[in-house]
Amino acid sequence: MSFPIKTCVVCGEEFELKPDKPGFANRCPECSTSEAVESADKSRLSAEERKAESETNEERRRAIRDLLYRKDR
């Protein structure tokens, strides 16, 4: 049994479109997987959460810098 050959719109590779292939029908399995993971990650964090996270990172960087600075003296 053979499957229709499709060309991936992301990387241009040809792939077999299998009925159980996850993701988009016009993307190869590799591109479907990475894209799916990426968009899932993005949608998990709202704009507010992302802002909070970057503020947390900023504070953490500052705390580490203070720590190192104090150690030097």
Point out which residues bind Zn ion (CB under 5 A): 8, 10-11, 13, 28, 31
Q: At its nearest, how many Å lie between Zn ion and the CB of residue 62? A: 41
Structure tokens at 64: 């580490």
Closer CB to Zn ion, residue 9 or residue 64?
9
Hunting for tokens 């190192």 — which residue is that?
68
Closer CB to Zn ion, residue 32 or residue 66?
32
**Where is 37: in which H helix or E strand?**
helix 29-44
> What is the rounded CA–CA span in Å between residue 9 and residue 19?
18
Q: At its nearest, how many Å lie between Zn ion and the CB of residue 29? A: 8
